C-alpha cells in the first residue's frame, strides 16, 4: 500500500 | 462510537484500548483519529464529549510521536478552540467540557514545550480572554 503523507496545515483560527 | 458511547456513563477502557491499537496500526491512524475525536469533542452531548476527551488523553499517552505531531497542528487545535469560542460551539458545549479542553491544551503547553503551535494556540486563547487563568 502506498500512503501519501500530508504534512500541510491550516492557519490558527482567530476567535 | 463504542469508546465514546454517551449511553454509558463509565469509561470503557477495553474499547478505548482497541481505539488506540487501531490508531497505532495504520499510517493514517493519527490524522483520522483526530478528525473523529474533534467531531466527538464538539458533540452537544456532554457525556460523549467527555468520553472523547478521555480517549484523546489516552491516545496522547499511548500513541507516540506520530500522534503528537498530528495533534500539534492548527488543523486539530482549531477544532478544540471552536469548543471554547462563543463564535463557534462555545454556547453549546458544557462548562465541564470547556474546562477540560482548556486543561488539556494547557497540559500540552507544559508537556510539549517544543511544539510552537500549541504555545501559539494557548497564548491566543489567553489574549482573547477565552482562557482567564
- What does residue B94 show for φ and ψ, rounded to 5 degrees? -75, 160
Q: Which of A9, A15, A1 is nearest to B87 (CA)?
A: A15
Which residue in the set A3, A10, A15 is minimally distant from B87, CB to CB? A15
B81 vs B93: CA distance, rounded Å: 12
**How near does any CA of chain A get to the CA of B22, in Å?**
16
Q: What is the Rg, in whole angstroms, of the alpha carbon atoms belonging to chain A?
A: 13
Q: What is the pLDDT along chain B (133 residues), one digit of tens a residue?
A: 999 999 999 999 999 999 999 999 999 999 999 999 999 999 999 999 999 999 999 999 999 999 999 999 999 999 999 999 999 999 999 999 999 999 999 999 999 999 999 999 999 999 999 999 7
B132 vs B110: CA distance, rounded Å: 17
**How near does any CA of chain A get to the CA of B73, in Å?**
6
B84 vs B95: CA distance, rounded Å: 9
**How near does any CA of chain B get to the CA of A1, in Å?**
10
CA dihedral B133, A12, B105, B85 (to 10 degrees): 60
Q: Which of B2, B72, B80 is nearest to B42 (CA)?
A: B80
pLDDT for the residue A14: 86
Which residue in the set B88, B121, B130 is minimally distant from A12, CB to CB? B121
Taking a C-beta distance cutoff of 8 angstroms, is the pair A12, B128 a contact? Answer: no
The reply to whether residue B27 touches residue A5, judged by beta carbons under 8 angstroms, is yes
Residue with cell 479542553: B101
Amino acid at each position: 500500500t502506498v500512503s501519501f503523507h500530508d504534512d500541510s496545515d491550516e492557519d490558527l483560527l482567530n476567535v | 462510537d463504542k469508546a465514546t458511547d454517551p449511553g454509558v456513563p463509565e469509561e470503557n477502557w477495553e474499547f478505548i484500548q482497541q481505539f488506540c491499537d487501531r490508531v497505532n496500526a495504520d499510517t493514517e491512524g493519527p490524522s483520522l483519529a483526530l478528525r473523529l475525536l474533534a467531531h466527538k469533542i464538539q458533540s452537544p452531548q456532554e457525556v460523549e464529549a467527555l468520553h472523547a476527551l478521555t480517549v484523546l488523553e489516552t491516545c496522547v499517552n499511548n500513541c507516540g510521536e506520530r500522534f503528537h505531531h498530528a495533534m500539534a497542528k492548527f488543523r486539530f487545535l482549531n477544532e478544540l478552540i471552536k469548543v471554547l469560542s462563543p463564535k463557534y460551539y462555545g454556547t453549546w458545549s458544557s462548562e465541564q467540557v470547556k474546562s477540560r479542553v482548556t486543561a488539556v491544551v494547557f497540559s500540552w503547553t507544559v508537556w510539549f514545550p517544543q511544539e510552537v503551535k500549541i504555545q501559539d494556540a494557548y497564548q491566543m486563547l489567553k489574549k482573547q480572554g477565552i482562557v482567564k487563568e
